[in-house]
Structure 1
């Protein structure tokens, strides 16, 4: 009887009806984790994904310590007996198959590529947890930050490359490009043919002559070989601090509650940077 009632409540909610009872929801996707943390009641959260407590990646890592951390494997999810699981669309098939076998509902999320897509996901999760008013509040904050960013936008057509470990350059078909465009910056990865991103050499970065670069740390430590390119003297020479925008990865990997902070960091940077003159 209890299981039947919960199933009916879940069906009504997913169909857009009123929530009859709190749902117990687990997430195995870092971006969905943070939407759930922001929009659900604490008692609705059954568990969060394996990277939920990683402060270098998750904006809400400290808050995540209040909840069970899942490995992403089916066994520990099943043990929690959630009513619903939030997952990335391209997660492990074996996990999904086992959850299907247990009749555990999975709601998939695509990677958002624009501010509008982020806002749509915010509304979707808020509907699932039964708190649409929280989506309205968060999306109003996102809109306000986007308006501040547009007001601070750089005039002209400055180009920027987002460079990270081992020379990974963020492509043009992603949320970061959408954020950069809001402040009048064009992702120069398009000139390198990097729609989805890719690894490039230091020589390629310098030859591309972006006006600015975006990095996750102002002064990265040489803790491993992965950061060697970011510490190279040639990069320092060509892109001193005034030609760099620094935004931590935790603000740009996902879309959601961190978006206002990411946009405000970009807005602030617009008054501090000096694009490198093109030769």
Structure 2
């Protein structure tokens, strides 16, 4: 393909990690996608499932990427350094995306990917969808100033520098982790969580089954006493693990959950 052809049709692209898969699937034309990460079709992963199934899946190494000869390769700083260096050594153009920690960074990445793929109007549409989803949550939550504690397996609490904390702040909710002195996140004891008394805890799944000790922490009798189903906001991790427009689905779910626990 000549440079002029690539410019007219948009660059042919390969994505090497799950989070860039999401951006590519949302913004690219199908014939621009030469390959997605090896985890792109894994159950529970974000992104339009049907579109992911029709796109080639990569091994995770450099060899199949080199055979595809894409115009651009989208990578994360968490992808293997050796693989990235090998692709560069063979003359491939790499676009590197970091892990977003704020909603503004998510929007910046959507804009950047829209520019890379030559579809800036789609990027603006995705950002508009995110803004609308934020406004919808604020309409339900902002007047009440709810304190929410994002609580994960084994008592890990997401701190102020996390993406989930940025989402809470944008929607008028407060991450109570700061009151535990866990600005960057960390593990909190059961006693500290109970004494904190946030209005709600935010967890990634509902149910009363513990498949291991990490999950069992969230089902401890003390937590279930103070935080039964009506005090738990359930936001699946697959909706928040990456940036991208999938966060709009997360925010829509947050709206539904707030309506459920506050009715």
- Whether the 8 Å CA contact 1:56–1:249 is kept in 2: the answer is no
When normalised by structure 1's length, the TM-score is 0.85
Q: 2:186 aligns with which of 165, 190, 198?
A: 198
Find the counterpart in structure 2 of residue 228 from structure 1.
Answer: 216
Residue 64 (str. 1) matches residue 52 (str. 2)? yes
- Whether the 8 Å CA contact 1:126–1:134 is kept in 2: the answer is yes
Deviation at 1:268, TM superposition (A): 2.5
> Any gaps of 5 or more consecutive residues in structure 2?
none
- Whether the 8 Å CA contact 1:153–1:182 is kept in 2: the answer is no
When normalised by structure 2's length, the TM-score is 0.90
Deviation at 1:194, TM superposition (A): 2.7
Alpha-carbon distance between aligned partners in 2 of 1:80 and 1:195, rounded to the nearest angstrom? 44
Find the counterpart in structure 1 of residue 155 from structure 2.
Answer: 167
| Coordinate RMSD, CA, aligned | 2.3
- Mapping of residues 112-151 of structure 1, within 5 Å: 112-151=100-139
> Any gaps of 5 or more consecutive residues in structure 1?
11-18
Find the counterpart in structure 2 of residue 44 from structure 1.
Answer: 32
Deviation at 1:163, TM superposition (A): 1.4
- Whether the 8 Å CA contact 2:13–2:71 is kept in 1: the answer is yes
Indicate how the Cα distance of structure 1 residues 60 and 224 shifts in structure 2: closer, same or farther if over 3 A, else same. Answer: farther
Q: 1:35 aligns with which of 14, 23, 48?
A: 23
Find the counterpart in structure 2 of residue 105 from structure 1.
Answer: 93
How many equivalent residue pairs?
Answer: 263
Q: 2:250 aligns with which of 262, 266, 272?
A: 262
Deviation at 1:258, TM superposition (A): 1.4
Identify which range, 266-275 or 123-132, moves more after superposition: 266-275
Identify which range, 221-230 or 247-256, moves more after superposition: 221-230
Find the counterpart in structure 2 of residue 13 from structure 1.
Answer: none
Residue 77 (str. 1) matches residue 77 (str. 2)? no
